[in-house]
Structure 1
């Protein structure tokens, strides 16, 4: 109780002292920013004033946190790294800027309300310590009813007893006013419900992005281990069996060795298909455009690849774009009856677009299992996938992926 009362009194004292200065600062900066709003001095002046106001608000959050017993978070988003005018416009649009200003305006009346708590504390302490100081200010003109309390030793100790009895009341007044001030400050200076929800959504998106990147890295590791480990051992075993077959010649065991070698070749081909299904090695070695070109080269129909400058892409986005094109081409070959196909890939700002168009018979089911699997892969990266396939064609598979995912 003593610690809470001390914090509350310290909070009220600093509020009374700082309130007028903070209010004057808000009034002056608002007036100056308004007068200079049509000049080239407006951005630097506004940015400087906002910087100072946010430092003052940070101190107030610390003070409020001490009274409330919890951390009061800062609501500010990352500052854009651009020229002064855009930074100023970004700060003007940010709700936290105006909430800070509202707190600065309320600092003065809030501090004045806190005077009631300080008066209650001073009166109660004066009563408790009456025997120590009241003798130094004798007053012969007091009414007879209270004269003995102020001018006699026994009466002063009665005031001490009264002060001790009223201490809980003074403690309640002080702590309630300090907590009310801190609650108002926290409500204005910490993130609101919508901002908390937006932050949580951003945290979840970042967590999901890290999980997807970790999964892509793990798939690349599995592909590399299969390519450099199991696949190399199978090739070595096939070479050993080929040598053994050559040494056995026409002996009866030669036929069994030939059968084992054929089965090993089939296992190697299956392993290579598995590796390409996990993560094509060419995608890691040469990039997305080269991987799509290799995919087009293996297709039994003409496939045109149209690609612009893509820039650096995250492994998860690169892999998703490749498998969208690969699955769409596989469906063209199996079901479309097309004679021509085109794959277009482009990066516009923060959005990677993949489009596969064929001149087949159309009528593809947009909710099929293959398309649904691709849609889940794309949506895991905050992307979208659409399939347009009227009867008679053409069929267009269009995917959009955020490049930063």
Structure 2
């Protein structure tokens, strides 16, 4: 109780000076920025004034910690590099910039009133408690009757001490209440608002989702590698062993040769199926040589005449390359199976912060954008904060377009 009261009293006392300093700075800054706003120095003056205002607000957030037990978090959004005009716009758009300014104006009358009240109450109570030590030196001959016995007699001074001790808890409660009221006002203006909390929560969710997507992509690459280096290698070895056995049986004229040939065909079918499975999980060429090479291999296997445009050396994040690959794979499959297309064009375009994939076929159109395969692709693209659109009027052409955020 004593520690909390002492901190609250220090907060109220410091608020008188802090409020006066903040108000003086606010007036000076507004005048300076207002006069320089019509010149080339307006932008730098605004940024400089905002920097100083934020430093003063930071001091206030630390001071609030004396009462609340912890400093307030900073409410500012990260600043992006840019020109002076762009930085001025960034700072001016943030509500915290103007809330800081409002607090520096409000804190002067609020701090003055609460600080004076807290100090007067404390001084009166402590003076009453210590009355026998000092009151004898102060002449009180003209004090009104109810106070004269208390101020001019020794028993009355000790009675003041007793009264002061009885009222100390009341004074401490008043000081705590004043400090908490001012701290609550500071918290309302200086703490992060709901907008910034939503921005930070969205950034945190985007970061965690990115980690999940990367972990999923790494897991798919591990499965592909295990299948390629494990099961597929063993099937190839078994096929080679059966081929050698078949060669020996032909030389010996064994009767089990048809069974060996059947086993070889079954192994070949299993190997082909396993390779299709591996390509469906994560094509090895996508990891080794990149998206352009993987799409070129996909186009070579397609029955359509496929034209691929884009940067052959371009590399993108693994999750982005995987999503783009399967968008194109599904688009080519649909064009060949359902659209009766004969020709298809794939365009890879790197824009600012995004990879755009456009697949256009000359089929009969009329594709359903809510189909199962396309809906799965849309969810895969949207998991990366991307967008996918399908335009397929009757008669064609069908255009499948995906935009995938790509910061690296």
Q: Same-fold call, TM > 0.5? A: yes
Give the Cα separation in 2 of the matches to 1:122 and 1:145: 21
Q: Which residue of 1 aligns with 2:210?
A: 209
Q: Which residue of 2 aligns with 1:166?
A: 167
Q: Which residue of 2 aligns with 1:80?
A: 80
Q: Which residue of 1 aligns with 2:9?
A: 9
Please tell me whether the aligned partners of residues 305 and 343 of structure 1 are also in contact (alpha carbons under 8 angstroms): yes
After TM superposition, give the deviation of residue 309 of structure 1 in Å.
8.2
Q: Which residue of 2 aligns with 1:353?
A: 356
Gapped regions of structure 2 (runs ≥ 5): none
Q: Which residue of 1 aligns with 2:131?
A: 130
Give the Cα separation in 2 of the matches to 1:373 and 1:343: 20
Q: Which residue of 2 aligns with 1:255?
A: 258
Q: How does 1:326-405 map to 2 (within 5 A)?
A: 326-404=329-407
After TM superposition, give the deviation of residue 136 of structure 1 in Å.
2.8
| Matched residue SS, 1:172 | helix
Please tell me whether the aligned partners of residues 292 and 314 of structure 2 are also in contact (alpha carbons under 8 angstroms): no
Give the Cα separation in 1 of the matches to 2:64 and 2:312: 52
Cα distance, 1:400–1:113 mapped onto 2, change above 3 Å? same
After TM superposition, give the deviation of residue 70 of structure 1 in Å.
4.5
Please tell me whether the aligned partners of residues 385 and 397 of structure 1 are also in contact (alpha carbons under 8 angstroms): yes
| Matched residue SS, 1:353 | strand
Q: Which residue of 2 aligns with 1:286?
A: 289
Q: Which residue of 2 aligns with 1:97?
A: 97
| Matched residue SS, 1:367 | coil
Q: Which residue of 2 aligns with 1:36?
A: 36
Give the Cα separation in 1 of the matches to 2:378 and 2:47: 44
Q: Which residue of 1 aligns with 2:178?
A: 177
Please tell me whether the aligned partners of residues 310 and 347 of structure 1 are also in contact (alpha carbons under 8 angstroms): no
Please tell me whether the aligned partners of residues 360 and 393 of structure 1 are also in contact (alpha carbons under 8 angstroms): yes
| Matched residue SS, 1:342 | strand
Q: Which residue of 2 aligns with 1:231?
A: 232
Aligned length: 405
Q: Which residue of 2 aligns with 1:52?
A: 52
Give the Cα separation in 2 of the matches to 1:260 and 1:130: 110
Q: Which residue of 2 aligns with 1:301?
A: 304
Give the Cα separation in 1 of the matches to 2:112 and 2:57: 19
Runs (4+) of structure 1 exceeding 4 A deviation are 308-312
| Matched residue SS, 1:305 | strand
| Matched residue SS, 2:146 | helix
Gapped regions of structure 1 (runs ≥ 5): none
With structure 2 as the length reference, what TM-score do the two structures score? Answer: 0.94
Cα RMSD of the aligned pairs, angstroms, is 1.9
Give the Cα separation in 1 of the matches to 2:70 and 2:372: 50
